[in-house]
Amino acid sequence: MELRTLRYFVAVAEELHFGRAAARLHMSQPPLSRAIRQLESELGTVLLNRSATGTTLTPAGEALLAEARELLDRAELARARVVAAAGPASLTVGILGDSSDLGVTRLAAAYRRRFPEVEVRIRETDLTDPTCGLRAGLVDVALTRGPFDETGLAVHELRADGVGAVLRADDPLAARARLRLADLAGRRWFQFPEGTDPLWQAYWNGGERRQGPVVRAVQECRQAVLWNGTVGLAPLGHEPPAGLTLVPIADMPVSRVLAAWNAGDPNPQVRSFVRTAVAAYRD
């Protein structure tokens, strides 16, 4: 079994969808399907049940997924240590807006345990650049949220969070258990500066054009709500400060937590970091 084929299998097993796995691997679906069939032929067993209702793992597939993850982790660890032995190793990580995410905390601990020889440099960015400086070459990999223009970038979803409206505690809607976007029609929302990625701006404006104060950072968003009574948005699980409340929005698309990097980046530390991130967020 080749490591490349095992990477293909893990992608399909985690996505349980050949199309999504192919997009994640930056390849077309036919060669991916052929590679999985060849792997099944080599092992003499069916790894994936394919049907009109979807793809599921067989017991043999479940067993291989655990083994494949371990083998790929060990291969990445060996690669990173060889590179580190050749000279000082470093990785610059961009983090969007708020580094208090518990997933980031787990990832930092896991990465330090596995790669203590790598110096990690953190660049925390404001909300005006969801790529955290990737396009400008300021970071090697970003921990961020979608959606944004992914042209030239590779992304891997780490988690999906529900989204809520950040409101003043005395707002008439603050006592509601759940809202819909229509409930917020006609309200002022925070805006990002001109030139911000339009996909990103549209998402955080609930898919419509809005009017409101311009902000750049998480704290500015909160202050805009506190002082002006505007509508803000935040992932569920991010507790707002005193004076504000977070009410879930039922029809708001989930906010995807992503690892993103420049497609084709030869830095071996990036792949090791992403695999560690996937495991840390999965746990």
- CATH code: domain of residue 94: 3.40.190.10
The share of the chain scoring above pLDDT 90, in percent, equals 58
Tell whether 140 and 176 lie within a shared domain.
Answer: no
Tell whether 115 and 63 lie within a shared domain.
Answer: no
Tell whether 82 and 7 lie within a shared domain.
Answer: yes
Decide which of 97, 131, 160 is a domain's last residue.
Answer: 160
Q: Which residues contact 12 (CB under 8 A, 6 or more apart)?
A: 18, 21, 32, 36, 48, 55
Domain assignment of residue 49, given as a range: 3-86
Tell whether 13 and 58 lie within a shared domain.
Answer: yes
Residue 279 CB coordination number (10 Å):
15
Instruction: Identify the CA nearest to 119 among candidates 78, 89, 142.
Output: 89
Q: What whole-number distance in Å separates Cα of residue 134 and Cα of residue 48?
A: 36
DSSP 8-class letter at 183: G
Q: Which two tokens stand for residue 230?
A: 């505007």
Residue 88 pLDDT exceeds 60 = no
Tell whether 172 and 248 lie within a shared domain.
Answer: yes
Q: What is the mean pLDDT of residues 234-252?
A: 91
Tell whether 246 and 174 lie within a shared domain.
Answer: yes
C-alpha angle 178/99/89, rounded to 5°? 145
**What confidence score (pLDDT) does residue 155 get?**
93
**What confidence score (pLDDT) does residue 1 get?**
76
Decide if 17 is inside a domain.
Answer: yes
Decide if 271 is inside a domain.
Answer: no
Q: What whole-number distance in Å separates Cα of residue 262 and Cα of residue 132?
A: 12
Decide if 279 is inside a domain.
Answer: no
**What confidence score (pLDDT) does residue 120 get?**
93
Q: What is the mean pLDDT of residues 198-223?
A: 91
Mean pLDDT, all residues of the chain: 89
In angstroms, the Cα distances linking 78 to 83, 99, 265 are: 9, 29, 19
As beta bridge partners, residue 95 has 124, 143
Which of 4-8, 135-139, 228-232, 252-256 has maximum average pLDDT? 252-256
Residue 77 pLDDT exceeds 80 = no
**What confidence score (pLDDT) does residue 100 get?**
60
Tell whether 38 and 57 lie within a shared domain.
Answer: yes
Decide if 225 is inside a domain.
Answer: yes
Residue 87 pLDDT exceeds 60 = no
Tell whether 12 and 75 lie within a shared domain.
Answer: yes
The share of the chain scoring above pLDDT 70, in percent, equals 96
Total of domains in the chain: 3
C-alpha angle 105/199/241, rounded to 5°? 45
Decide if 218 is inside a domain.
Answer: yes
